Amino acid sequence: MIMTVSADQMALGVVSGALIGFTLGLIGSGAGILAVPLLVYLVGVKSIHEAVGTTAAVVTVNALTNCYTHARCGHVRWRAIGFFTLAGVFGAALGARLGKLLNGQDLLFLFGLLMLWISYQMWRNRGKVPAVSSSSGTRRISASSGAGFGVGALSGFFGVGGGFLIVPSLIWANGLSIIDAIGSSLAAITIFAGTGAASYALSGLVNWWLVLMLLAGGIVSGYFGSMLAGYLDKSRKGALNSLFVVVIALVGLYIVWKQVGLLAR
């Protein structure tokens, strides 16, 4: 089913896409967590499930594009993400199935809570480099697979990429540097979000016109975000992440406040 959009929605979709693509390319995460509220509150998408499905499709293409840029710079470690992504595909399929069963307003309320939790975790760990696991062999495979399944389920359920969890997981389980974890996370995001997007698309819950508008704004900005990520030093990236945490927290509070107001009526 091809859904229609107004001219204003197209313009706002391009603006939203630019923000999403640049964020994803720059820090390897955070794009999906902003995309759903942008579609609901800025672009004006009425169906929460449609916003989630459309977000998943956009994140898939943006992540793939930015992954290519990072791969050309040698920042993707394909072997390190094998078991992680394999388990994550099953998690994403299950998460998408569960997400479609939940009432749209309840799903958005949980999404707001998720944003608040993420902002808290990112703020608490700002400036810290995740500790590298000293285990090897079977334990690393088990840890990587378990984390992949959990992140994949979250990705499918909410339509997000899950990079905010993938990056520290890859550092801990595989001993990757920050820039390699960011590049590798984009490969995992492509697979996780793609699995969720396919599930929502089969249910007619992806607005392909909005996907095109979001991509039009996101692909070029994502390229510049990916290139900038390779040049930013740790202190500047930390400052950017801190600002991003504040934005996530404010948007999360707004969503929860709106949904509590609806429930009180």
Mean pLDDT score of the chain: 79
pLDDT surpassing 60 at residue 145:
yes
- Between 72 and 219, where is the model more confident? 72
Q: Is residue 79 part of a domain?
A: yes
Residue 103, Cβ density class (10 Å: 0-12 exposed, 13-18 middle, ≥19 buried): exposed
Q: Is residue 185 part of a domain?
A: yes
Q: Is residue 43 part of a domain?
A: yes
For residue 42, what is the DSSP state?
Answer: I
List the alpha helices (DSSP H) in the chain.
Answer: 7-27, 31-37, 48-72, 82-101, 104-124, 138-158, 163-174, 178-202, 208-229, 234-264
Q: Is residue 2 part of a domain?
A: no
pLDDT surpassing 70 at residue 28:
no
pLDDT surpassing 60 at residue 135:
no
Average pLDDT over residues 116-121: 81
The type of residue at 22 is: F
Share of the chain above pLDDT 70, in %: 79
Q: Is residue 48 part of a domain?
A: yes
The predicted pLDDT at position 171 comes to 76
Distance CA 143, CA 223 (A): 32
pLDDT surpassing 80 at residue 232:
no
Cβ density class 58-85: b for 16+ within 10 Å, e for less = bbbbbbbbbbebbbeeebbbeebbebbb
Number of domains composing the chain = 1
Note whether 182 and 70 are within 8 A (CB): yes
Q: Is residue 1 part of a domain?
A: no
Note whether 155 and 106 are within 8 A (CB): no
Average pLDDT over residues 59-64: 83
Q: Is residue 29 part of a domain?
A: yes
pTM: 0.72
pLDDT surpassing 70 at residue 243:
no
pLDDT tens readout for residues 167-208: 777 777 777 777 788 888 888 888 888 988 998 999 999 999
Q: Is residue 203 part of a domain?
A: yes
Range of the domain at 69: 7-264
Question: CA angle, corner 13, sides to 8 and 18, nearest 5?
Answer: 135
